Amino acid sequence: MNLREFQEQIKALYFLRDEKRGVEGTFRWFVEEVGELAKALRKDDRANLEHEFSDCLAWLVSLAILKGVDIEQCALRYFPSCPKCLGIPCQC
């Protein structure tokens, strides 16, 4: 699966609910998930890290959908190199 396919899947699963919640409500859910990821990172909770990373990714993509942003296009900003210094690895 690529990022575009993931975005389409998240849209199929959650768009109607996210649209009703709106950008601000969806953003609050995203921030809550980032907080849960922070806890998992702080505790080095390996069993929970993938779960929290996936939740953060899903909520981020939901926000992109609501704002009409192609998340795969966003990712391309970092390909083939650092968008600022063009280095691999980054030299900024």
Rounded Cα gap, residues 32 and 7, in angstroms: 20
| 14 Cβ contact partners less than 8 Å away, ≥ 6 residues apart | 58, 62
Do 18 and 37 touch, CB atoms closer than 8 A? Answer: no
Per-residue tokens: 62: 């939901």
Do 33 and 52 touch, CB atoms closer than 8 A? Answer: yes
Do 3 and 72 touch, CB atoms closer than 8 A? Answer: yes
Residue 47 has pLDDT above 90, yes or no: no
For the entire predicted model, the pTM comes to 0.92
The per-residue pLDDT for range 69-83, each reduced to its tens digit, is 999 999 999 999 999
Residue ranges and CATH numbers for the domains of the chain are: 3-78 (1.10.287.1080)
